[in-house]
Each structure stands twice: as C-alpha cells, then as structure tokens.
A and B are shown apart, each in its own frame.
Chain A
C-alpha cells in the first residue's frame, strides 16, 4: 500500500502533472486558402474536414474525462478556420450545447488570416462571442513578402479588408506578426502600421524552424542584436505614443517580473507550462487523432516516437492514453529537458522550460534545453524589458 501511494505521488515529477485542460485546439480542416512560405503545416493543401461525429466525440471525451476544471477555451486552428463556412460552426455549437455540463464554461476563438471575413461572419462572431486573432505581419511591403496565395500574389489588401470589417462591427481582435529577418529592419514602419490602422493588441512571433518550415531567416549571426534593436525601438515608439499599443512580448516579461518570487517559481515548476505539461492543451486533428503538448507537433513524424498522436477521440479515452508508454516516454523526455533548462539557464526564472516543439525541431530531442526560439523570444526579449525598466529607474534616480 505504501509503495503504491508513493508511486502515485511520485509519478507526476517524472511525467509532469496533467491538466486541467486550458485549451482545446480543434482543426476544422488542414486546408488554408493562403500559402505563407514560413507555415509549419505540411498538409495545408488538404481539403479534409472534421465531421460532426468527431466534434461530438472530442467534446464528449473532454467533458467525460474530468480533465476540465471550470472552463476551457477552444481555438479553431491548424488550417484557415473560416474556409469551412458558418454552417459548420452552427452545427458544432448545437452539438456542444447538447452535451455540455451546465457548470462548464466553453469559449471559442479563431486564429484567422481574415481574408474570408464578411458581414455575415461578423454577425456570427458577435452573436456567439467568438474571439478573434488575425495574422498580419505589418505594412504591405513586409506582409506580402511571405503571406501569399498559391499563385504567389500578395494577400495584404484582403487581410486589411477583413480587419476593416471587424472594426466596422466593433469586434475586438488582436494580431500576431511573424518577425522575419526582413521585418527586423523596419520597426518604425511596423509600429506606424498598427498605430495608424487602430490595431492596439499586437503580438510578435519570431520565425521558427518547425514542421514543414525547415529553416528560418533568423538563423544568422547578429539576429539577437537586431531583435534587441527592433523591440527597443517598438518600446520607445510606444512610450512616445502614450503606450497606445499593448505589445504582448513587453507585457509578458513585465508580468513575469511583477509576479516573480523564488517560491512561486518553484511551485509553478511542478505544475508546468501549458505546452510542457500533459493535457493542459489537447489538440484534435480533423480526423479525430489527438495529441497534447505543443500543438504544432500534432501528426508530425518525430523520431523516435513516430507520428505524434496519442490516440483518436473516436476510439480512445484520455485516461487510457495517460497510461500509455508513448505519452510517458514523451513526458519523461520533456521533463528531462526542463530540468536541463532549470540547471543551465538563468532565464528559467522567467520562462519555465521552453517549448517542446522548438526543442525537438531544432535539437532533435525533447531532452534538451536551449533553442533559437529561446535565445530570441525569451532571452533577448526578457533582456530588452529588464533593460528598459532599469534605464527608466536610473533616469528617475539620476
């Protein structure tokens, strides 16, 4: 009895604690009407669609498994979610409403390129309180370098038409921009684009190497310095503007500073981040195959694990999957990687162990620590924010 209890208690540090579910990523279709050249999705030409029985099975298993605390959020993504049309989501909402326990809160969001936005979509979004994230890289000359149609045409005008519709309907949204090597040279133009177009909530992702995107324009000497200059300039421009933009990367590290304590970090280390603890994120592909951890990993072949899926919502339960050797091997490797971060990286205090997807795509194993993504999106940006705080304080003191 004692050893069983001990085993029960000691298991989580080996596999990471599980859940509660915070995010359910559902792939309505792998298809995207655009063909951005840095996209990680390998099968974005496939027009397969998630069928109602898969939708029902996914939600039913989420509700049945007990993995939900009070609420969770659904993001429709991993393909352009709007290509499947409004009726798809109307049916989905009917299915979910029919099986959702009254005590559980479910909200929905789209990450979209906004090129298919219409007045009808806006009405639907408002009616059902969907939250919207738009992918736009900045002004046309930067955006159209990479965000193209299959025939190679630019997409900026269509994206902006979608954004204008959202604004006309007073639908709040935020944006994500991919920072490429070219973009780093244009902080003023990028800031002014957002400012002048009334876009206030802005996030910057660095161009990552993962999935179907096997190299990044940021894998060059001097990129960290260029990113430092870029984000410092964005910061200064924002101050000059009266802090009218909410820049996610600045806010993130500001909050890490404000919330940090040694003990808090230690306790949080046990529960893990969203991407590196099992079942905080559940990713379900159009065909019902599901995974957890980083969403970009779903369905990708990653050695030595093979296809990165742990089961199918039509046939498997989360509880059974939790007992499988595959997920334990993955979780153990991820935990070992986090330990390497904890023991070897001073930025662990503001990070928590990095992204499994970046580790395996860049280093070939989850059981590793630093990546280019870490160096740029965590270390460099944390330094920018800390330096800005220190500079402001020294000016004040001086």
Chain B
C-alpha cells in the first residue's frame, strides 16, 4: 500500500472511530471551557446575524483547518514562522465566495 493510501486509510479509520465512539463524550475537548465555547457560539451567531453567509460544512472544515494552521486567504499558506520569515504566500486558495470580509458587516 502506498504511503498516501496508508495515510488515507488510517485517517478514514480514525475518523470513523471518532464518530462511532466519540458521540457526546467527544463533542468537546476535555478542557473545553463552557464559557469559552459559548463565546465562540455567540460570536458565530453575531456574525451570521449580520448577514454574513454561513459557510457550508466543507467550507467550515477548511476554515477551521486553515485557522488552526494560521493559513489564511488571501495569503494562502501563510505560516507564522519565525520572525518575519517563512511566509509562503500565494493567493489561489481562495476561501468560500460570498462572505468576504465579515468585519465590514459587523461595525
């Protein structure tokens, strides 16, 4: 099995395990502070209430993944490496169209 397929297979199995055995128990991180989670949920509602289009599930997957890795359009795979270095940048990994800059709708 190629390395790529091994990786895919493992991820698939892990995702399935997570879904099957996770359920309610896995719905939050062990430390997920209810207050902090509520702030995030409320902020989400505030943004969408302002008319910003909610992302689809697959767009949301990408948004969270990009955010965790500090990879933000329009920069592409911008990374917060070391002191101004390491900013691989291109602009063709455009985010979901339609919601643009939510901040302009918030203020």
Is A271 touching B11 in the complex (CB atoms < 8 A)?
Answer: yes
Chain A residue contacts of B44, Cβ below 8 A: 257-258, 260
B83 touching A66, Cβ below 8 Å: no
Number of A residues, CB within 8 Å of B? 107
Is the pair A295, B68 in contact by a Cβ cutoff of 8 Å?
A: no
A131-B89, A267-B15 known; A205 vs B83 contact (CB < 8 Å): yes
Say yes or no: B10 contacts A109, CB within 8 Å: no
Q: B87 contacts which chain A residues (CB < 8 A)?
A: 75, 111, 133, 135, 174, 176, 203
Number of A-B contacts (CB under 8 A): 292
- Distance between Cα atoms of A318 and B3 in the complex (Å): 9
Can you list, as one digit per residue, whether each of A200-242 has a CB less than 8 Å from chain B (1) or not (0)? 0101010110110100000000000000000000000011001
- Cβ of A73 and Cβ of B27 under 8 Å apart? no
Q: Is A344 an interface residue (CB 8 A)?
A: yes
Interface pick from A32-40, A115-123, A187-195, A327-335: A32-40
Q: Is A89 an interface residue (CB 8 A)?
A: no
B64 touches A243 (CB 8 A): no
- When A19-B3, A252-B67 are in contact, do A246 and B82 touch as well, CB less than 8 Å? no
**Chain A window 10-40, contacts with chain B (Cβ cutoff 8 Å), 1 for yes, 0 for no:** 0111000111101101000000000010111
Shortest distance between the CB of A347 and any CB in chain B (Å): 8
- Inter-chain CA distance A268–B18, complex, in Å, is 11
Q: Knowing A205-B80, A275-B69 touch, does A346 contact B85 (C-beta < 8 A)?
A: no
| Chain A residues positioned under 8 Å from B62 (CB to CB) | 259
Q: Contact: A273 with B75, CB < 8 Å?
A: no
> A264 at the A/B interface (Cβ < 8 Å)?
yes
Roughly how many angstroms separate A109 CA and B2 CA in the complex, as a whole number? 28
- Option from B13, B64, B106 in Cβ contact (under 8 Å) with A389: B106
Partner of B104, one of A243, A377, A396: A243
Query: With A390-B46, A393-B46 given, is the CB distance from A259 to B67 under 8 Å?
Result: yes
Contact at A253–B67, with CB atoms within 8 Å?
Answer: yes
Q: Identify the closest chain B residue to A351 (Cβ).
A: B68
Nearest chain B CB to A295 CB, angstrom units: 6
Residues of chain B within 8 A of A296, CB atoms compared: 81-82, 85-86
B40 A174 Cβ-Cβ under 8 A: no
Contact of B85 among A39, A258, A389 (CB under 8 A): A39
For A78, A205, A270, which residue has the most chain B Cβ atoms within 10 angstroms?
Answer: A205
On whether A137 and B29 interact (CB within 8 A), knowing A17-B10, A131-B91, the answer reads: no
**A389 and B104 form a contact (CB under 8 A):** no
Chain A residues contacting B80 (CB-CB under 8 Å) are 203, 205, 355, 373, 377
Give Cα A12 to B14, complex, Å: 8
**Is A258 within 8 A of B47, CB to CB?**
yes
Bound CA–CA A294/B82 (angstroms)? 10
Which of A66, A133, A252 contacts B5, CB < 8 Å?
A66
**Residues 57-89 (chain B) with a chain A CB within 8 angstroms:** 59-89
Is A274 positioned at the interface, with any CB of B under 8 Å from its CB? yes
A67 at the interface (CB under 8 A from B): yes
Q: Determine if A213 and B86 form an interchain contact, defined as CB atoms under 8 angstroms apart.
A: no
Complex Cα distance, B68 from A22, in Å, reads 14
Q: Which residues of A contact B3 (CB under 8 A)?
A: 18-19, 65-67, 318-319, 322
- The answer to whether A19 and B7 have CB atoms under 8 Å apart is yes
Establish whether residues B14 and A13, one from each chain, have CB atoms under 8 Å apart when the complex forms: yes
A172 within 8 A of B: yes
Considering the complex, give the chain A residue whose CB is closest to the CB of B32.
Answer: A349
- A46 CB to closest chain B CB (Å) equals 16
Add 12 more A-B contacts to A19-B7, A349-B37, A386-B39 (CB < 8 A): A12-B10, A12-B11, A17-B7, A20-B7, A243-B103, A257-B40, A259-B60, A260-B44, A262-B32, A270-B15, A322-B3, A342-B30
Show 19 residue pairs from A and B whose CB-CB distance is below 8 angstroms, ordered by the A residue.
A8-B10, A12-B11, A17-B10, A17-B11, A25-B86, A133-B88, A135-B87, A174-B91, A176-B85, A210-B83, A213-B82, A243-B103, A254-B103, A268-B65, A269-B29, A295-B81, A343-B30, A344-B31, A357-B82
